[in-house]
């Protein structure tokens, strides 16, 4: 089926857009985490979302989830790995499924513009965003895994059952079940560069160490938008938008929330999600 | 005292800005209705303010009020009738008091750009925005009163005790206590133009009727911003802003919410209030 709109990202901006499109009877496919926004969830206290008083991030996130459910909006908990522009709209590859939508909203939050050095260039050639899709090809091999959030740890576990050896990198702190798995070695220094001529064959860490690998899995809450959607114009680390409509340089594609720039604020994100939805309705 | 910021308007945009400035320890003078937003209050049901589910306007307004109170933010329930630019910021005349602030935020909601025809030109010369300030001058005279909201009816009553005769115009429907006051005559056709060479001496109604008067009181929930702040650049009925910062053409003066344009949405207004506050903090 052809959806009226696809939304990438289940934070405040994505939610606000999803609500407005749904209320206008549009069919929406919405990608993100079933747990909504990690960033909101982890905020200890939020005092400047008007009407909520002083509220914990997890309480607010719970209210966001409840609001979505009350409108029968459900998040497709799949990582979007590629988006292409077709004559009629957009074709979206999420793990192993393909979706089509007329309009597209990027509400991916703030992510580094291009991920790791060379990540973009080597994507599909030793760099993968999807354990379920590509894990199989690394049977008996040595791989690096960047696990961007705790909720992806089950994918790391899955990869540990296939690969011979895993070098694990996490941006968050704390031990986990993964540390008791024999073929997983956690490295402290973060990844700086992915190396390889035609195929990823090593990672260089910030401390200068070179680690030889057969491939790397990058499991992020959000993939850098310019990496999955070729030709998307950026402004430094942010998606370039027309501020009046939140349109990007690609026809039919809009962006809202932290991915469009500062200030990184929940209130601003819901405002932009609402504005983008209205632009999409008028487009 | 010199306030860090003055905010005109107690709707969602003004509230959002007030919260953020207050949380940054700025001193704020905030003008508007103690009852916050009339427009929110009168919305039967709001489904697209993320996190609130489906909520009545009056419930949401109540939450806004509670949030403001929890931060010791209080609205000064006075009508701003004039703003002038000084070397150090802004001087604000509200009824009979003068306030000074370094930065200014206009969050006045949507109001017609210039009010009635000639309202701007004849302000202070037979056109008044303030019954308490100027009522006294119309003892025994014939006046027109445009009463923009029910909460100003007590001012109309006050004027009826001074003036000989009042022609009353209201944009809302329904009879009230005012209809039982002998010297008040309610006219059905709306005002089109205020007439007068050097002083307002008549109003022309939409149906063509000419009504002779000695003066006119315009009691609006919000006064057209370009009328109270000379030199403010408009874009049709909206205040012209730089979309990146919400700055207006006047240095130190910002605008947020419905007064900056469509879509007229609560979520957009709180986003803009937040953004404007951050711009003011960085300015």
Q: What is the mean pLDDT of residues A105-125?
A: 83
Would strands A90-94 and A80-85 be described as parallel, antiparallel, or unpaired?
A: antiparallel
So what's the pLDDT on residue A246?
98
- For the cut 90, the answer to whether the pLDDT of residue A253 exceeds it is yes
Q: Classify residue A162 as left (phi > 0), alpha (psi -120 to 50) or beta.
A: alpha
So what's the pLDDT on residue B221?
66
Nearest to B15 among A50, A54, A262 (CB): A50
Chain B residues with CB-CB distance to A274 below 8 A? 48, 263, 265, 267-268, 271
So what's the pLDDT on residue A113?
45
Burial of A177-207, coded b for 16+ CB within 10 Å and e otherwise, reads ebeeeeebeebeeebeebbbeeebbbbbbee
Look up residue B246 and give its two tokens: 């919400």
Query: CATH homologous superfamily of domain A127-219?
Result: FAD/NAD(P)-binding domain (3.50.50.60)
H or E stretch covering B267 = helix B266-282
Distance from CA of A269 to the nearest CA of B (A): 7
Chain A residues with CB-CB distance to B57 below 8 A? none
The reply to whether residue B52 touches residue A64, judged by beta carbons under 8 angstroms, is no
Look up residue A150 and give its two tokens: 């705790």
Between A129 and A199, where is the model more confident?
Answer: A199
Distance CA B272, CA B242 (A): 12
Residue B76's φ and ψ, nearest 5 degrees, are -85, 110
Look up residue A144 and give its two tokens: 């690096």
Q: What is the mean pLDDT of residues A72-80?
A: 92
Every domain of chain A and the residues it spans: 2-112+223-282, 127-219
Q: What is the mean pLDDT of residues A183-188?
A: 95
Longest dimension (CA), chain B: 55
Between A182 and A219, where is the model more confident?
Answer: A182
The reply to whether residue A53 touches residue B67, judged by beta carbons under 8 angstroms, is yes
Look up residue A251 and give its two tokens: 């026809």
Nearest to A50 among B263, B265, B270 (CB): B270
Chain A residues with CB-CB distance to B272 below 8 A? 271
What's chain B's average pLDDT? 93
Q: What's the whole-model pTM score?
A: 0.81
Chain B residues with CB-CB distance to A243 below 8 A? 243-244
Q: What is the pLDDT of residues B242-275, one digit of tens each?
A: 999 999 999 999 999 999 999 999 999 999 999 9
According to CATH, what is the number of the domain A2-112+223-282? 3.50.50.60
Nearest to B243 among A16, A63, A244 (CB): A244
Distance from CA of A38 to the nearest CA of B (A): 16
**Reported ipTM:** 0.79
Quick one: closest CA in B to A14, which residue? Answer: B50
Low-confidence ranges of chain B (pLDDT < 70): 112-114, 221-222
What's chain A's average pLDDT? 93
Q: What is the mean pLDDT of residues A109-114?
A: 66
So what's the pLDDT on residue A153?
92
Q: Which long-range contacts (CB under 8 A, 24 or more apart) does A202-208 make?
A: A203/A116, A203/A144, A203/A167
Nearest to A20 among B48, B60, B63 (CB): B48
Distance CA B43, CA A171 (A): 45
- Quote the Cα angle for A185-A188-A192, to 5°: 105
Q: What is the pLDDT of residues A8-48, one digit of tens each?
A: 999 999 999 999 999 999 999 999 988 888 789 888 899 99
Model confidence at A221, pLDDT cuts 50, 70, 90, reads low
Nearest to A51 among B67, B244, B272 (CB): B67
- For the cut 90, the answer to whether the pLDDT of residue A141 exceeds it is yes
Is there a contact between B114 and B237 (Cβ–Cβ < 8 Å)? Answer: no
So what's the pLDDT on residue B63?
98
Look up residue A45 and give its two tokens: 């206290």
Sequence-ordered list of residues with C-beta below 8 angstroms from that of A70, at least 6 positions apart, any chain: B53, B54
So what's the pLDDT on residue B196?
96
- For the cut 50, the answer to whether the pLDDT of residue A205 exceeds it is yes
The reply to whether residue A51 touches residue B60, judged by beta carbons under 8 angstroms, is yes
């Amino acid at each position: 089926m052809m959806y009226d709109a696809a939304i990438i990202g289940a934070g405040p901006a994505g939610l606000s857009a999803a609500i407005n499109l749904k209320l206008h009877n549009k069919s929406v496919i919405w990608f993100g985490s079933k747990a909504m926004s990690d960033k909101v969830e982890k905020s200890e206290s939020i005092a400047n979302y008007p009407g909520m008083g002083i509220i914990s991030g997890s309480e607010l996130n719970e209210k966001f989830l409840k609001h979505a459910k009350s409108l029968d909006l459900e998040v497709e908990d799949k990582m979007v790995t590629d988006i292409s522009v077709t004559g009629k709209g957009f074709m979206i590859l999420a793990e192993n499924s393909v979706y089509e939508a007329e309009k597209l909203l990027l509400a991916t939050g703030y992510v580094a513009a291009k991920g790791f050095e060379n990540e973009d260039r080597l994507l599909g050639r030793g760099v993968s965003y999807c354990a379920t899709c590509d894990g199989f090809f690394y049977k008996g091999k040595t791989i690096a895994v960047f696990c961007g959030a705790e909720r992806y740890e089950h994918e790391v576990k899955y990869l540990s059952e296939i690969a011979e050896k895993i070098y694990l990198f996490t941006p968050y702190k704390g031990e986990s079940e993964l540390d008791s798995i024999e073929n997983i070695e956690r490295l402290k220094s973060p990844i700086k560069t992915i190396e390889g001529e035609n195929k990823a064959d090593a990672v260089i860490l910030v401390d200068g160490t070179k680690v030889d690998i057969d491939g790397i899995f990058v499991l992020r809450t959000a993939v850098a938008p310019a990496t999955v959607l070729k030709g998307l114009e950026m402004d430094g680390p942010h998606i370039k938008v027309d501020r009046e409509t939140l349109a990007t340089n690609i026809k039919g594609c809009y962006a809202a929330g932290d991915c469009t720039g500062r200030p990184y604020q929940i209130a601003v994100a819901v405002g932009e999600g609402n504005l983008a939805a209205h632009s999409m309705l008028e487009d």
